[in-house]
Chain A
Amino acid sequence: MSNTWYEKTAHEIRDAVRAGDVSAAEVTESCLDRIAAVDGQLKAFIDVWNDAARAQAAQVDAKIKNGEDPGPLAGVPIGLKDVLCTKQGTTTCCSQILKGYRSPFDATAVERLADAGAVFVGKLNMDEFAMGSSTENSSLQTTKNPWNLECVPGGSSGGSAAAVAGHECAITLGSDTGGSIRQPAACCGCVGLKPTYGRVSRFGLVAFASSLDQIGPFTKDVEDCALVLNAICGRDLRDSTSADLPVPDFTQALKGDVSGMKLGMPKEYFTDALGAEMREKIDTAIKVLEGQGAEIVEVSLPHTDYAVATYYIICTAEASANLARFDGVRYGYRAPGVTNVDELYRKTKTEGYGPEVRRRIMLGTYVLSSGYYDAYYLKAQKVRSLIQRDFNEAFERCDAIVTPTAPTPAFKIGEKSSDPLEMYLSDIYTISVNLAGLPGMSLPCGLTASGLPAGLQIIAKPFDEETLLRVAYTYEQNRGFELAMPAALRAQ
């Protein structure tokens, strides 16, 4: 019988490993075999840690043999976006400027997953420095959408989404600055959750935009999301912005239902910009929740139109400073043949970054410049406050907000890569959530006629991931369809 553990969810694997029905080693081999079989097409992984994964699995098995607790994610194969620092392998953010860079430490989230018994199988492709919505900005390779190999997986965490959707591993971690978890999750038909800003330590997450970045999971189902949150959330003394709040057992949130809960539909999200087919998918999903007793109310987020502009001022400003350190002086790429320090900076950065990263550094430098600061950066911060206020007011009328995750399903590779503005609009429904620091989640809500997944986004109040999970779980249990294995990857 062929070993199909790679198809399983994390909680199925965990239960089986803990019960002794399967060894962590067998599960790991199953995933490594699957990666070997399909990643040539998908190109989700940029580095597969065969030996390290086997060693980690052996440790889990040894613990079980010795009667020790192997942890709540015992033997679960996990892939990591290349923006997360790991002592194993390299940490490059898929940029030439960090080619060959080895981090001396593990990110806090990675450390916590390891403590929970996870087995890391490798690093995943992404848009360079998480800047992009299609993963086409990776300097290494183009990741394909498992549902249609001619389409993008979304981005920037495209590798993380494709790896879970393509059943290469049970869980992956990604990062979300303006939708980089939720949008690819929607494109690839998996569950993606961006926790509240401050819920998960950013220590070891290579910064793109510090006030917006947050680490979160991609999983095959909602229950797995809760398991990952249990492991990675909570105060970290190495991150001053991590919240000093108690971390609940998120799996308990799955037990509730949505009867009597008010779900808000922001009218600004349901306009003509949303394609008819996507609209129908979202409406159907919302009906499922209504059928479970939720009350649907219309809410308004009046500053929605300004979100993309606000976001691209704040994120580029922060990025222009965050990326300044990659200068060829201490680590990473250094341009050869330079004769002075200015030339070293100029050549290293010109040669080391791709065009989108250069564009954003220029934008960010511009909006912070003397004489422009008030007109751009300061104004953007004020609009950001207004967007936060919009959500506060909306949450006075509802418990959670439901929206589409992205305006369209996954688009074709190359379709938008020549038009940055068009690409930026892929994130119109996800960006506000980052500006407001809220938790947001994307769930598959069916396939379009062309066989591509559609995503339903759920947004909750700050630090109310439990409501997020409860609504998501209720939908998932009652949605009335199962996502089959993507056709392109069947019978591999």
Chain B
Amino acid sequence: MKYEAVIGMEVHVELNTLSKVFCGCSTNFHAPANTNVCPVCLGMPGVLPVISKRAVELSVAVGLALHCTISRWSKMDRKNYFYPDLAKNYQISQYDLPLCANGYLEIPIDGTTKRIGVTRAHLEEDTARNTHTIGGGDSGVDFNRCGVPLLEIVTEPDIRSADEAYAYLTNLKQILQYLDVSDCNMEEGSLRAEANISIRPVGTEAFGTKTEVKNVASFSGIYKAIEFEIARQQQVLEEGGTITQETRGWDADRGITFSQRAKESAHDYRYFPEPDLVPLVVDEAWEQQIRESLPELPQARRERFITAYQLSEFDAGVLTADKAMADFFEATVDAGAAAKPAANWVMGDLQKLLTERRVEIGDCALRAEDLASMIGLIEDGTISGKIAKDLLPEMLDTGKAPKLLVEEKGLVQISDSSELEAVAREIIEANPGPTADFRAGKEKALGFLVGQMMKATKGKANPKLANEIIRSELAKTE
């Protein structure tokens, strides 16, 4: 039998507000344990939550970017369960009236676009972090994270493959980064994704029993976990077994999912409206104000790059994947560089150097104006592309202007014909073999000779000119 997967994603995003969602404490949970805490987030007797307007704004911004309907009137609810990482033993969350509902996210897949329905996005508070000594004995709770605003984004079961799930996550992350609402760092837990996975025979409507895969530390991990889970479920069914509804963990080392907790019966969270907070009202004016403050989103920017800069769809996609990179590219063009070489430098050498150095574009010394002026120096023949490649690392590390570096190092390209003619003659003399080969009709040998010229001039020869000159010198001395 042929099966298809039915997948829904739940993503928790920590919003990057300065203060926690219900108190004034800093959201920096990397501080020493239990230093960014107060009576409110510690759930001490007599305290009351006060909702952060900023957290609501960021949530609405995400909702709007995901084409959600924003609730004019929603409320917070108490989700009751006992656990030491939950100061009040209830989490303030949203139950039946989420802030944002009925949206979608479009993902590019197989050359077309697919719409993934977003059921809801709701605001809640993060929990503390429990730590245990290895081998047991002592447990501690760090409440720094308790009360950090969290947005939970839930999709419809519209996803059909690991590829689609991956595309959904990367596109969602792009949007969140463009909105600048979260660090989206999976390793630090500021973005957490869970997949609900089931399979059913192709052509049937009814959902199969689902499993929930949790605690995966990367998008590629989720991709692999989904692939594994689909295959595992298929095997179980083909062997005549049944799928158990359960939560499964991901063992990245062994590349398998494993049963963590069977859902005996659905957890009874005894939700009820939070009486300590007044209803959450987002009126039309406020929504409009947030809508107007939204930045250009990845999809729109991608399309604009294609039309405004005549970039290929691929290049536009790569450049806009990361907002900072796209910003840098545009700044380079604004500083006078032509779009195509700017795109090539940003996507190519620059990206490679940044990856090697493990730095973000915003954290290195390179300025867009300097990249533009470097590209200008190539265009006007002052330096060769080869020289530019050598210059870029230093520009990136020191922030020095390319003109200055070129002068300091005497790297101005040799475009003086007589100087190059002399070099060409020396090269021809020193390399009788290739010279003979060329003359015997082996065009390839010319490349070697040009290379020797570049070497002799330490890369400063204007490559185009060097090519012409050695050709004419070879013709002369024949």
Interfacial residues, chain A to chain B (CB-CB below 8 A): 84-85, 91, 93, 98, 101, 103-105, 107, 202-207, 209-211, 237-241, 317-318, 320-321, 324-327, 329-331, 341, 345, 365, 368-370, 373, 377
| Cβ-based interface call for B78 (8 A) | yes
Q: Is the CB of A240 within 8 A of B39?
A: no
Question: Assuming A91-B45, A91-B46, is B277 touching A240 (CB within 8 A)?
Answer: yes
> What are 29 A-B pairs with beta-carbon distances under 8 A?
A85-B45, A91-B45, A101-B45, A107-B46, A203-B46, A204-B46, A204-B47, A240-B49, A240-B50, A240-B277, A241-B48, A241-B276, A241-B277, A241-B278, A318-B272, A318-B275, A320-B270, A321-B78, A321-B89, A321-B90, A324-B88, A324-B89, A325-B87, A327-B89, A330-B43, A330-B87, A330-B141, A365-B270, A373-B270
| Cβ-based interface call for B292 (8 A) | no
Interfacial chain A residues near B46, Cβ < 8 Å: 84-85, 91, 103, 105, 107, 203-207
* Distance of A238 Cα from B84 Cα, bound (Å): 25
Interfacial chain A residues near B467, Cβ < 8 Å: none
Q: Is the CB of A368 within 8 A of B266?
A: no
Interfacial chain A residues near B275, Cβ < 8 Å: 209-211, 241, 318
Question: Assuming A98-B45, A210-B275, is B80 touching A368 (CB within 8 A)?
Answer: yes
Interfacial chain B residues near A320, Cβ < 8 Å: 80, 270
Task: List the 3 shortest-distance A-B pairs measured between CB atoms, nearest first.
Answer: A324-B89, A210-B275, A368-B270
* Complex partner residue of A238 from B45, B50, B141, B270, CB under 8 angstroms: B50
Interfacial residues, chain B to chain A (CB-CB below 8 A): 39, 42-51, 78, 80, 82-84, 87-90, 141, 266, 268, 270-272, 275-278
- Total CB contacts across the A-B interface at under 8 A: 100
* Complex partner residue of A104 from B39, B88, B271, B276, CB under 8 angstroms: B39
* Distance of A144 Cα from B270 Cα, bound (Å): 39
* Distance of A223 Cα from B206 Cα, bound (Å): 71
Interfacial chain A residues near B83, Cβ < 8 Å: 341
B269 to chain A, nearest CB (A): 8
B128 to chain A, nearest CB (A): 10
Interfacial chain A residues near B270, Cβ < 8 Å: 320-321, 365, 368-370, 373
A297 to chain B, nearest CB (A): 34
Interfacial chain B residues near A210, Cβ < 8 Å: 275-276
* Distance of A239 Cα from B141 Cα, bound (Å): 27
* Distance of A98 Cα from B46 Cα, bound (Å): 12
B79 to chain A, nearest CB (A): 10
* Distance of A321 Cα from B89 Cα, bound (Å): 8
Question: Assuming A324-B82, A324-B89, is B268 touching A369 (CB within 8 A)?
Answer: yes
Q: Is the CB of A324 within 8 A of B80?
A: yes
Q: Is the CB of A103 within 8 A of B51?
A: no
Q: Is the CB of A240 within 8 A of B51?
A: yes
Q: Is the CB of B48 within 8 A of A202?
A: yes
Q: Is the CB of A203 within 8 A of B45?
A: no
A301 to chain B, nearest CB (A): 23
B276 to chain A, nearest CB (A): 5
Question: Assuming A329-B84, A368-B272, A369-B268, is B48 touching A240 (CB within 8 A)?
Answer: yes
Chain B residue at minimum C-beta to C-beta distance from A371: B268
Among A107, A330, A365, max chain B CB count under 10 A is at A330
Q: Is the CB of A240 within 8 A of B272?
A: no
Interfacial chain A residues near B48, Cβ < 8 Å: 202-203, 238-241
Chain A residue at minimum C-beta to C-beta distance from B88: A325
Interfacial chain A residues near B89, Cβ < 8 Å: 321, 324-325, 327
Q: Is the CB of B43 within 8 A of A325?
A: yes
B266 to chain A, nearest CB (A): 7
Interfacial chain B residues near A202, Cβ < 8 Å: 48
Q: Is the CB of B141 within 8 A of A103?
A: no
